Each structure stands twice: as structure tokens, then as C-alpha cells.
Amino acid sequence: MLQTPTSEQTARRRVDDQPVVLRISGLRTRFALDDGVVDAVEGVDLEVRRGETLAVVGESGCGKSVMARSVLQLVDRPGRIVGGQVWVPRPPEPTAAGRRRGWFGRTRRPPRAEEGPDGMVGLVGADPEVVRAVRGKRISMVFQEPMTSLSAVHTVGHQITEAIQLHEPMTKQEARERVVDLLRKVGIAAPEKRVDAYPFQLSGGMRQRVMIAMALSCDPELLIADEPTTALDVTTQAQILELLGRLRDELGMAIMLITHDLGVAAQLADSVAVMYLGRVVERGDLAEVFRDPRHPYTQALLRSVPKLGRRTGERLAPVRGMVPHPYARPSGCSFRDRCDHFIEGVCDTALPPVVRDEHGHEVRCVLYQEDRR
């Protein structure tokens, strides 16, 4: 069920004066396949500040997960980042353990990274050691399926300890004690025993908590959570969301929440970015977007979700049509073939520009252009 948040609920944290922990500028990721080229991410601009929770929502296949992986340079071939930049605060120096393991400092020259505003560095095109210094320390990620993200042949304690020692100057015993504390913090019972358990010995909810503990092991400034409640029962979903919100408030970190569930976004997020076919079509404060959705795609998504107070027997209104084939992207607005407000000769001729109001609410739609014909 979707319950529209109020302004009072989303005003619990004001982050406008907080430092930026992630700035995505014109990011473009492309997959060159045998049958054609797929532009999975096409010109995404996003910004996340300390303490903020940004929900990136949209249907499956809209580019949310590829965009998140592009941030940490985790796009596998044949995917490739072909444009834009990802700006993050300058990473710290690697630990001696990190150098011994061969992850850092392989060359004598200073690592290459593009210098950006406010002392930030760019990850696109940077040396691998710069990216590795950011992963886990500045930015961590909770992947969609914890069973395939954890090694089946190593204990969960070993896996988390390895991540800690790469970034923190700790002995193995100190790192183990920290792992036990982290497992306790994320709500795993008997952490002194579970630290030596293998992933297949844990339930789905416990494995997800282990992934969260690993992501938080080096006190990151930003946590990217890619569908963190997928394949979990409703009770466990609520517990994971409550855990993420509590840890965010305690640690002061930012969260980028990747989800197709608008109810999950309403429960945890402060702001929202709606993606469709690789582009952000609407962005703004969560309460504002849910109360006054402007893009026809956002309006259709909200109409398709069950709401409290709906009359018994009332049918939901699904988003009509199908997502276009990735090899046959429509000209102009990508949503035009499914839109109830399609204007022939306008929506199909050029990509709509981004329109921004005085409250920072952005929408990519010709309906809000003052000079449209």
C-alpha cells in the first residue's frame, strides 16, 4: 500500500547545507551487443548530500541498477561508460594492508584522476587504485541478491574482515571484533557465533543484514542499496527498511535507494528521481513529487499503486503499453507512445528539455515549457 508522505514527515532532515557526497554529471553507459547498441544510461544528472536518502524509481529495465553500478565503475563488458563524470570527495590514502595485497600503489607515479569542484575527484577515467580507494570507504553498495554477492566458500566474518583490513589500519583480531559489533548493530542474534557461519547457513533476511554490515564496515559516506528488499517477505522487508533508516540517522550517511516499489521509496526517502529508458524524467522532494506528480510517467506509476482509502473493488489503472525495445528507442520523448498527453509534431520531434520550478522540482516534459507551440 502506498501512503503519500506529508511535508512534515519528509522535513525531519534538511540537507541543503550539507556537503555533497556524490555528483553525477551527464553520465552515459552503453552496451554494444551483436544485435545493436543499447544506451542503458543516457545523460543522468544527480546529486546526493550527506544525510539525504535519494530514491531512484522506475520500471524494470529503466537503467537504475546500471546507473548505480556505473557510479562505482562496476559495469562489465560489453558495457562501457561513454560520457559524463562521477564526482566524489577525494579518497583517503590506502592502508599498508591494502598495498601489501596488491590493490593499491602498483605504480610509482601519482594516481590519475580528474580534479573537480570543491576538492572532488572524477571516477570515470581514473586509475583503478583511485576507484578501489573509493569503493567500500567513501561509497558502499548493497547488491540486489545477497546469496550471489557473498562467497559461498568463505565465512561471513572472513569476507567482512577482508574489506575492513583493505581500508582500515587494524589487526585481524581488531577487525574480527569490529565485525562482531557490526553484526550486532544490524540485528543478527548471537553475532559471536554467526561470524563463523557460511552464507548458505543463513536465511535470506540474515544474508541481507550481512551485506549491510559489510557495506557499513568502513563507515562510508554513501550507501547505494540496490533493491535491498527483493525476495524478502513483508515482515523482513519492513525490518530491513527500518534498519537502514536507523543506521542512516545514527551514522549520518547518505543513501541512494534503487527500487521499483514506490511504497518502499515513500517509507524511507527524502527525495526521488524517476527514471525511464535511461533518463531522469522527474526529480524533486518526495512529498512534492508524490503530491503533485508532473511527468505523465510518474502520474501513471502512482495511479497503478494501491492506496489507503481506495474503495473496495475499485480496479487499478496499469501503465498502458509496453516499454519500447532497447534497440528501437522512439525519437523525441521516450514515453510518447504510452502517454495520454502526446502532442503530434512536438513530442516526437525533439527531446524535451528539463524544466525546473522555484522549489527545485524538475520535470522533462513539453507540457511545462512556456514557449511550446
Which secondary structure element, helix H or strand E, spans residue 134, and what is its range?
A: helix 128-134
Grid cell digits, residue 352: 524535451
- Phi then psi dihedrals of residue 366, to 5 deg: -70, -15
Q: Give the Cα separation of 221 and 217 in Å (integer).
A: 11
Q: Give the Cα separation of 136 and 223 in Å (integer).
A: 9
Q: Give the Cα separation of 57 and 263 in Å (integer).
A: 11
The CA–CA distances, whole Å, from 354 to 44, 238, 260, 295 equal 12, 35, 23, 11
Which secondary structure element, helix H or strand E, spans residue 176, and what is its range?
A: helix 172-185
Domain range list for the chain: 1-94+115-138+220-235+245-327
Residues 355 and 362: beta-carbon distance below 8 Å = yes
> Which pLDDT does position 191 carry in this prediction?
94
Query: Can you give the pTM of this predicted structure?
Result: 0.87
Q: Give the Cα separation of 257 and 54 in Å (integer).
A: 6
Residues 286 and 255: beta-carbon distance below 8 Å = no
> Which pLDDT does position 372 carry in this prediction?
53
Q: What is the dotted CATH code of the domain comprising 1-94+115-138+220-235+245-327?
A: 3.40.50.300
3-state secondary structure of 198: coil
Q: Give the Cα separation of 285 and 187 in Å (integer).
A: 30
* Max Cα distance, the chain (Å): 69
Asked if omega into 78 is within 30° of 0 (cis), the reply is yes
Q: Give the Cα separation of 196 and 218 in Å (integer).
A: 20
> Which pLDDT does position 10 carry in this prediction?
46
End-to-end CA distance of the chain: 39
Encode the chain (373 residues) as per-residue pLDDT tens digits. Answer: 555 555 444 444 556 778 999 999 999 999 998 888 999 999 999 999 999 999 999 998 899 999 999 999 999 899 999 999 999 998 866 655 555 554 444 444 567 778 877 789 999 999 988 898 899 889 999 987 777 788 889 999 999 998 898 888 888 899 999 999 999 989 899 999 999 999 999 988 899 899 999 998 888 999 999 988 877 788 888 888 898 999 899 889 999 999 988 988 999 999 999 999 999 999 999 999 999 999 999 999 998 887 776 677 777 788 888 888 888 888 899 999 999 899 998 999 989 999 999 888 999 999 988 755 4
